[in-house]
Chains A and B, each alone.
Chain A
Amino acid sequence: NAGVTQTPKFQVLKTGQSMTLQCAQDMNHNSMYWYRQDPGMGLRLIYYSASEGTTDKGEVPNGYNVSRLNKREFSLRLESAAPSQTSVYFCASSETGQLTEAFFGQGTRLTVV
């Protein structure tokens, strides 16, 4: 039972490079989320997808794009990475309209140099 799987686990990018963070869940959840976690800031919502085919901006969307590829997969893309995007990124999923329990992946540690 994998839950929420994120790839890669670690990544180092140079400023200006692009990359896509992948997330997949096997719990048949409708909603998926991308958060970033920085020291002293807690988790901040970047983008979310309430259901397949929809995406909405969260608290800190600038510099990111997302794609809800299907019900299982939700990817986060950095088009031109900046040092300010150095963070730990978490993907999460939850069952919309029910208990607000979000299941989190293990995180992707991204460093932009």
Chain B
Amino acid sequence: QKEVEQDPGPLSVPEGAIVSLNCTYSNSAFQYFMWYRQYSRKGPELLMYTYSSGNKEDGRFTAQVDKSSKYISLFIRDSQPSDSATYLCAMTTDSWGKLQFGAGTQVVVTP
């Protein structure tokens, strides 16, 4: 069983809708949680990170971490076609940056 589980999608939504993405994990030692966005044929780029449990908001993006349920979420409000990409969750037990990734969810936002 993988340490980090993520539904690969694809997830198709109309422009303006809320996109809801999530990951579950099994290692309770994970403390740092990240979301990366990866456009086709590009490297991943950091979108958001959170430490421990709680919510974090950045513009149209909100990341949530529920350590008691071992569940993290990313919400994208007012989605745009430019949000079409693969979103990868990642997490690590320490600050050394050795990340454990989910498989990634492909998101398609249609005009």
For A75-113 the 0/1 string (1 means CB < 8 A from B) is 000000000000000101011111111111111000000
Given contacts A102-B46, A106-B43, contact A42 B96 (CB under 8 A): no
Interface residues of B toward A: which range?
A: 20 to 34
When the two chains form their complex, are residues B101 and A97 in contact, meaning their CB atoms are under 8 A apart? no
Could you give, for residues 72-111 of chain B, a 1 whenever the CB lies within 8 Å of some chain A CB and a 0 otherwise? 0000000000000000101010111111011110000000
Whether the pair B97, A107 counts as a contact (CB closer than 8 A) is no
Is B49 a contact partner of A104 (Cβ separation < 8 A)?
Answer: no
Q: Is A41 an interface residue (CB 8 A)?
A: yes
Interchain CB contact under 8 A, B95 and A98: yes
Of the candidates A96, A100, A105, the one having the most CB atoms from chain B within 10 angstroms of its own CB is: A100
A42 and B97: CB pair below 8 A? Answer: no
B92 to A: closest C-beta gap in Å = 5
Chain B residues, CB < 8 A from A40? 8, 103
Q: A31-B96, A90-B43, A100-B49 are in contact. Are A42 and B32 (CB under 8 A)?
A: no
- Chain A residues near B43: list those with CB within 8 A: 4, 90, 92, 104-107
Instruction: Please give, as numbers and ranges, the residues of chain B lying within 8 Å of A103 by CB-CB distance.
Output: 46
Partner of B44, one of A45, A50, A90, A98: A90
Known: A33-B98, A35-B101. 18 other contacts (CB 8 A): A4-B43, A40-B8, A42-B88, A43-B88, A43-B101, A45-B98, A50-B96, A58-B98, A90-B44, A99-B49, A100-B32, A100-B95, A101-B34, A103-B46, A104-B43, A104-B44, A104-B45, A107-B42
Binding site for A on B (CB under 8 A): 4, 6, 8, 32, 34, 41-46, 49, 88, 90, 92, 94-99, 101-104
